[in-house]
Amino acid sequence: MQVPLQADERIDQLSSQGVQIIQSSQVFAFSLDAVLLAHFVPENHRQHLKTVDLCAGNGAVGLFLNQHLGGQIWEVELQARLADMAQRSISLNDLGDRYHVINDDLANVYDYLPKDSVDIVTCNPPYFKDDQHSQKNPNQYLAIARHEIRTNLAIVVDRMSGLLKMNGHAYMVHRPDRLTEILSTMEASRLVPKRLQFICPKPQWEANMVLIDAIKDGRPGGLKVLPEFVVADENGEYQPAMKELLYGDRK
């Protein structure tokens, strides 16, 4: 399906998923964290599955879950321009029968979806706290996406837990330097972390991302730390596993 594009927009494709997505370097373009988060979610093709992606941006994480998950997927995005990009990408991929965009503050998500009604919630939230010492991007779209200007970790985790049914799964990608805060915030909101995976840019480098899988009202304990995922080799060339996620092969 053809969709209109604004002057600064382009159509990119995640080859491994056969998904096209509207991007803009001036407004928002997905990063590897979106690809890695979607891959971290186990496949589940139940017809009645309900999935919500918070802080959806241009819809990347939700769209990358198309072949992973069955059922219905809701994309929740505060910024109208990004929500519109997500909606047009849904149309571009002929997925309007499964996907729904909510253009509102995620704090208001219960106005659209009942509490305790969702099987899976994903989120790639703003990573950085909003304080007087934080250096923000002058581009307001990017500043809101990266800094906790319009939401924060506590609100995100609270809404993730509130949406989920008992034993539903919450999946998040974030920064390792906030991991202690993230885990304590999750546990205070009835989310019990069960899987962690650290993402390293190159071999022997410190991790710059962490993937977290938590279960609502899960049994205490049983946390598994998966082998670290290394994105590229010493020369910056994508490792075979990363190439597979992006291109669908190991060439």
The CATH number given to whatever domain includes residue 109 is 3.40.50.150
| Dist CA 12 CA 23 (whole Å) | 7
129 within domain boundaries: yes
208 within domain boundaries: no
4 within domain boundaries: no
Digits of tens for pLDDT over the chain (251 positions)?
789 999 999 999 988 888 999 999 888 888 899 999 999 999 999 999 999 999 999 999 999 999 999 999 999 999 999 999 999 999 999 999 999 999 999 999 999 999 999 999 999 998 767 665 666 566 565 656 665 567 899 999 999 999 999 999 999 999 999 999 999 999 999 999 999 999 999 999 999 999 999 999 999 999 999 999 999 999 999 999 999 999 986 44
234 within domain boundaries: no
Strand 164-174, strand 229-230: pairing: unpaired
126 within domain boundaries: yes
212's CB contacts (< 8 A; 6+ apart) are 170, 171, 172, 173, 174, 182, 183, 186, 193, 195, 196
Count of C-beta atoms within a 10 Å radius of residue 212: 23
89 within domain boundaries: yes
171 within domain boundaries: yes
Q: How many domains does the chain have?
A: 1
144 within domain boundaries: yes
Domain range for 39 is 9-190
pTM of the model: 0.93
What is the reported pLDDT for 248?
86
Residue whose token pair is 């970790």 = 153
| Dist CA 104 CA 159 (whole Å) | 13
| Cα–Cα nearest to 32, from 169, 251, 221, 236 | 236
The full 3-state SS of the chain, as one line of letters, equals CCCCCCCCEEEEEECCCCEEEEEECCCECCCHHHHHHHHHCCCECCCCCEEEEECCCCCHHHHHCCCCECCEEEEEECCHHHHHHHHHHHHHCCCCCCEEEEECCHHHHHHCCCCCCEEEEEECCCCECCCCCCCCCCCHHHHHHHECCCCCHHHHHHHHHHHEEEEEEEEEEECHHHHHHHHHHHHHCCEEEEEEEEEECCCCCCCCEEEEEEEECCCCCCCEECCCEECECCCCCECHHHHHHHHCCCC
Note whether 113 and 73 are within 8 A (CB).
Answer: no
